[in-house]
Amino acid sequence: CLFSTARDGSSFTRLCAMTLARAPCLLVIRDGAGARFGGYSSAPLQLGPRWFGGSNSFLFRADGAGGVLLHRATGANANFVYMNAHREMLPNGIAFGGDLDSRHFGLWLEDSLDTGRAEETCSTYDLPHSLASSAGFAVDHVEVWAVCEGARNPWLAAGGEEEGGGATSDAHKETREFLALAGREVNRAQALEPFREEEEEGRPRAPEKWISPDQ
């Protein structure tokens, strides 16, 4: 785990220091009502005024019954992931999908790390409903996970519990299951392979229901 508010506090500056340019990342949020959701960035996180990532980025929400609803990119635009800080004229925080001018996002996490928004519709991702318990939500907990074997948190002491690697260690089975949502096979012997690009010939993907293979 690269960053956790429980461990590292609600500091966007610290989140940036721990996560930028390290690896493709999984952002996981639990809101004040207990809903768990987030997004996967297929590219390492980066600060700037432009969108980044690829069409294999996605949004997800745990359904409360052991499964997860997965929302893939529609192909309507390339507004996959956005991250910025300390700017007066641009939003500061992390966004997945939507539009900067209208401030309408599929998922938005404020740089305060205590509030966010999850709109009911988003042109970038096939999102027929809000990911969170409500469109505007209070944040209870935030984590950012590296999606590769070698991206370790440089802030943690050597030999600590979290130093077992990224999301592929035995301690983080649930996170490995989230990665499997995108069709990845976690392999201990090597870094995770990139997503295969899947062309849908203009058809938006429907939300997918994924159930753990262990169930």
Secondary structure letter of residue 198 according to DSSP: -
Q: Is the pLDDT of residue 215 over 80?
A: no
| Other Cβ atoms within 10 Å of 135 Cβ, number | 12
Enter the DSSP assignment of 161. Answer: G
Predicted TM-score of the model (pTM): 0.76
Residues 138-150: pLDDT tens digits? 999 999 988 865 5
- In angstroms, what CA-CA distances link 146 with 38, 88, 211? 14, 29, 22
Rounded to 10 degrees, the C-alpha dihedral 96/99/100/101 comes to -170
> What confidence category does residue 174 fall into, taking pLDDT thresholds of 50, 70 and 90?
low
pLDDT at residue 23 in the model? 86
Cα gap 2→26, rounded to integer Å:
10
Q: How confident is the model at residue 106 (pLDDT cuts 50, 70, 90)?
A: very high
